[in-house]
Each structure stands twice: as C-alpha cells, then as structure tokens.
Amino acid sequence: MMHINPVLESVGSIIEKTLHVKINFEKIKEVATTLKDYKFPPLHYDFLPNLRGDDLVQFTFVFNSINFQFCELKKPWRRFEIKYGGTTYSGAIGLIYSLRKALEDDIPVLDAKYLAKLTEERALKFLKGDNIIIPMFEERVKILREIGKVLLEKYEGSFSNFLKLSNKAFDEGKGLVERLVKDFPSFNDVRVYRPTGTVVKFYKRAQLLFAMLHYNPNCQFKLENVDKLTVFADYRLPQALRDLGIIMYSDKLAYKIDNRIPIPEGSDEEVEIRACTIYSAHLLCEEINRHRSDKITEVILDGYLWLKGKESMRPHHLTRTIHY
C-alpha cells in the first residue's frame, strides 16, 4: 500500500487558498524540460566527523536537533562561524565543526546524560563561535536538554535504539518521522494556517535527519521509502524557486523579503512560503521524472535547489524560528 507523506497532504490542502504566494504551474513544466537531461550530483552527507556506527547516528541526531538559525536577524547580519584546522566554517557546517571540536576536547556532546543536565555555561564551550554566540542560544540549550532526557527515558540514551522501531519515514503514523515529532517535541514543526484553520505539517529537521542518515555512505541505516520525503522547507529553496519563476510573491511580501523585513513565524505569509515551496518542488520532481529513466527523489532535487538558492542575488526571507 502506498502511504502519502502527511507533510505533502497537509500543504496540498491549502495551495488553492493562498493569498500571498502563488505557484506558476506552467513554469514548472518549462523548468522540468530544461532538467530532463541534467546530471544531478549524488548526495553524500559525509561531512560529519570520522565516526561510525552508533556514534555517527548519535552525532547526526544531536546536530540536527539544533540545526537552525545561524544568522542574526539584524544588521550587520552576522553568521555563526568557527575556525577549525586553519579554515573558517560558517552556518550549519560551522556547527558540525564546533561539535567535532567539542568531541576532540573531551566534551561529551553525544552523551545523553550530559545533555540532559546541560547548563548554559557548559554549552558556551561549543555554541560560542569566533564572532558571536550562536543565535537562539537559549533555545538550543533547552532542546539539547530535551533530547537528552527523552533518549534516557525511552531509548537507553541511544538514538540507534530509536531507529530499530522502523525503516520507513512514513507509515500510517508509525514511521520514523511521525514517531520522532511525537517523542521529541522540538522536531514537531507544524503551523495553523489561520484563513482556513488547517494544521500544516512541515517537519523540516525531522525529514532532513533521516535523509542525512540514508545518504551518508558511512551509515548502515537506510530508509525503505526515502522517495516519500519532501524537500526541506527552509530559506534557500524559496529563493531558488522564486528565481526560477515557479513561486511568485505578492508585491507586499516581495517588498518585505527584498528589504530584509522579518516575516513572523506562523504568519500566513511564512506558512504560504513554506507550503508553496514543498508543493511546487514535489510537482517539479514529478514533472522531471516524467522525462527521465533515472528517477530522482525530492531529496536529490532539494540539494539542487539549495545550491541554486545559495547562488541567488536576492535576499531570502528572514524568520526567527527553531525549525529551519
């Protein structure tokens, strides 16, 4: 039996009702045609430290639990960065190297007991960059305590034990993504779309976590239905889809984004940006695969769009959130 991704189902339910963001369906067909022969590079989430087995799984989980918001939402727009081995790394990669450095300094950031009792003073040793304390520092400390406590209470301190529950992302409420957002509240990335009262599910970090495990060549865990994951609704993908002409903003929303005016978390505008990103990318992936024998997943398309967004000359939307 085919199981639809509840993320796709929920975002699809509001697409025809959006007020601030619209999808150009004809543009999807046009862009898909240009990508029918494109050689999508394989995904390799192997930029993690030289870890294997349970430690690699635990590291990927800990990292993804705090993988969000690396830029200050005010001038001078500083990004979290850290120097490692003579090279400066910023954003998510900077966080990876910060955690890696912590392990090398014998700070047990993978130990659930340590995380469950983490203090802000201790967290400063690995969440303070070379230029700034990581944005939303207090929220990250709270999340690390949460995952430490839940791992101890339910999974003997090991996320590998969680993975033993299933090898499916979605499975009528019993899949790993669905279980994760229930057991670990900070992963429960949902909004209420106020015009219709619809609960919209995004599950960005939850889906990304299992994609990172699946596509890491050093990890033995593989998802049976990785093709059911959607793209990960963040800042970069809307940039790319806007540049491609696939999503279009109202004049008012375009002005806010282009002038770096923050979009509040949970606002109708933010929900629509993320919903239209996921739904249009899903349609784009389907349309691309109509022209190809070597089918791609939406996770592969996500990697392509993310890089396109990073190359964009226009600002991305700014939202203060723990979810992306």
Which positions are annotated as active-site residues?
A: 234
Burial 260-277 (b: 16+ CB within 10 A, else e): eeebeeeebbbbbbbbbb
Residue with tokens 């806007």: 242
Length of the chain in residues, anyone?
Answer: 324
Q: How far apart are CA 153 and CA 292, in angstroms?
A: 47
Q: Which two tokens stand for residue 155?
A: 């999974």
Q: Which one-letter amino acid corresponds to residue 53?
A: G
Q: Which one-letter amino acid corresponds to residue 284?
A: L
**76 preceded by a cis bond (ω within 30 of 0):** yes
Q: Which one-letter amino acid corresponds to residue 175?
A: G
Q: How far apart are CA 55 and CA 208, in angstroms?
A: 18
DSSP 187: G
On whether the CB atoms of residues 141 and 96 are closer than 8 A, the answer is no
On whether the CB atoms of residues 72 and 132 are closer than 8 A, the answer is yes
Indicate the helix (H) or strand (E) that contains 273.
helix 268-290
Q: How far apart are CA 63 and CA 20, in angstroms?
A: 33
Residue with tokens 């994609």: 211
